[in-house]
């Protein structure tokens, strides 16, 4: 195990789970939370220190898992903030989901103190205490390499997506899929129910037909592969897409259900199905 000292600020669902995973791997973290009793029910995690500055003094890598941008700014630069106790070379790994410009702002603030920042979206949050997160990294390759032993102690997979901001952009895009899918399921279920179908029957059909959810990403995988034979399929698939979504719009009109996602999906069907053939395909 690396001798790096890895510590955690923010002991909510994600930060608390990360701290438990680190402790289970023998990398017992120093922690901070505004709640003095935040670690009471976290296995192997000691009581919080008095300030982020104290955490920084004991750390090589600090994992910041707060709720939003304002909390991240306070943790870094507030009274007894992390940077007031940091030494040059400290790595801050931001686990919070914030806008990409905020990542760059926080990185500039850290750089003034000789501290390096990585943006690290994580998912799924409820698996943090089970070493079950995927860590989605943005930042310099050398900094990622330094932090990877710590990341591997709480994440089942570490994916370096590119330079600063790339990890956060990837996490944001992943969230679009999550919430967009929720909306699609909402529209479909509402449509089925308005047509006299028990929505639970729709779930039964989906579970039976596509239990692993492979259909959700199937076309995007084909797009990324960029094979000529896939592009040849586009006209037929486009006809099917347009026909099927037209039927959905017709049903929605008959039962009085608004389906804005269906409307957008049909309108932009050609764009959705576009295939760019790779030269090496």
Q: Based on the fold, state whether residues 30 and 103 are members of the same structural domain.
A: yes
pLDDT tens readout for residues 78-112 = 999 999 999 999 999 999 999 999 999 999 999 99
CATH number for the domain spanning 232: value is 1.10.1040.10
Q: Is 156 a catalytic residue?
A: no
pLDDT higher at 230 or 143: 143
Cα–Cα distance measured from residue 65 to residue 260, given in angstroms and rounded to the nearest whole number: 35
Q: Based on the fold, state whether residues 125 and 19 are members of the same structural domain.
A: yes
Q: Based on the fold, state whether residues 255 and 231 are members of the same structural domain.
A: yes
Q: Based on the fold, state whether residues 144 and 248 are members of the same structural domain.
A: no
pLDDT tens readout for residues 251-272 = 999 999 999 999 999 999 999 9
pLDDT at 279: 60
Which long-range CB contacts under 8 A does 171-177 form with residues at least 24 apart? 171/97, 171/121, 171/122, 171/123, 171/136, 172/97, 172/100, 172/121, 174/121, 174/123, 174/136, 175/97, 177/216
Q: Based on the fold, state whether residues 59 and 27 are members of the same structural domain.
A: yes
CATH number for the domain spanning 142: value is 3.40.50.720
pLDDT at 96: 94
Decide: pTM greater than 0.75: yes
pLDDT at 1: 42
| Residue 12 falls inside a structural domain | yes
What mean pLDDT do residues 207-230 have?
Answer: 89
Cα–Cα distance measured from residue 32 to residue 8, given in angstroms and rounded to the nearest whole number: 7
pLDDT at 277: 67
Q: Based on the fold, state whether residues 53 and 34 are members of the same structural domain.
A: yes
Return the structure tokens found at 224: 């990324």
Q: Based on the fold, state whether residues 150 and 263 are members of the same structural domain.
A: no
pLDDT of residue 278 exceeding 70, the answer is no
pLDDT tens readout for residues 37-70 = 999 999 999 999 999 999 999 999 999 999 999 9
Ordered DSSP codes for 249-261: HHHHHHHT---HH
| Residue 82 falls inside a structural domain | yes
Q: Based on the fold, state whether residues 152 and 181 are members of the same structural domain.
A: no
Beta strand segments in the chain, E? 6-9, 31-32, 61-64, 91-94, 116-123, 133-138, 155-162
The closest of 48, 170, 66, 52 to 115, measured between CA atoms, is 52
pLDDT of residue 156 exceeding 80, the answer is yes
What mean pLDDT do residues 150-173 have?
Answer: 97
Q: Based on the fold, state whether residues 136 and 194 are members of the same structural domain.
A: no
Alpha helices (H) along 28-165: 52-57, 69-77, 100-112, 141-151
Name the catalytic one among 112, 156, 171, 243. Answer: 171
| Residue 278 falls inside a structural domain | no
Cα–Cα distance measured from residue 95 to residue 141, given in angstroms and rounded to the nearest whole number: 18
Q: Into how many domains does the chain fold?
A: 2
pLDDT of residue 280 exceeding 70, the answer is no
233: domain range? 171-273
């Amino acid at each position: 195990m690396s001798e790096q000292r890895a510590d955690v600020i923010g002991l909510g669902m994600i930060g608390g789970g990360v701290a438990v995973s680190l402790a289970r791997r023998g990398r017992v973290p120093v922690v901070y939370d505004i709640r003095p009793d935040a670690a009471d029910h976290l296995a192997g995690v000691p009581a919080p220190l008095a300030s982020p500055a104290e955490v920084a003094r004991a750390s090589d890598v600090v994992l910041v898992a707060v709720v939003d941008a304002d909390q991240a700014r306070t943790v870094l630069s507030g009274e007894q903030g992390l940077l007031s106790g940091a030494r040059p070379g400290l790595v801050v790994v931001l686990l919070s989901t914030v806008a990409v410009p905020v990542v760059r702002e926080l990185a500039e603030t850290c750089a003034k103190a000789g501290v390096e920042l990585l943006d690290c979206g994580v998912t799924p949050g409820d698996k943090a205490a089970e070493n079950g997160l995927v860590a989605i990294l943005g930042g310099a390759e050398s900094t990622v390499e330094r932090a990877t032993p710590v990341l591997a102690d709480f994440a089942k997979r570490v994916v370096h997506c590119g330079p600063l901001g790339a990890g956060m952009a990837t996490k944001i895009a992943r969230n679009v899929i999550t919430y967009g899918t929720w909306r699609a399921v909402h529209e479909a279920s509402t449509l089925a129910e308005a047509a006299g179908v028990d929505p639970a029957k729709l779930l039964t059909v989906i579970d039976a037909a596509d239990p692993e959810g492979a259909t959700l990403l199937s076309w995007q995988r084909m797009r990324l592969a960029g094979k000529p034979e896939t592009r040849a399929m586009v006209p037929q698939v486009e006809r099917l897409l347009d026909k099927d979504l037209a039927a959905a719009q017709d049903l929605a009109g008959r039962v009085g259900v608004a389906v804005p996602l269906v409307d957008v999906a049909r309108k932009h069907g050609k764009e959705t199905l576009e295939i760019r053939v790779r030269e090496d395909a």
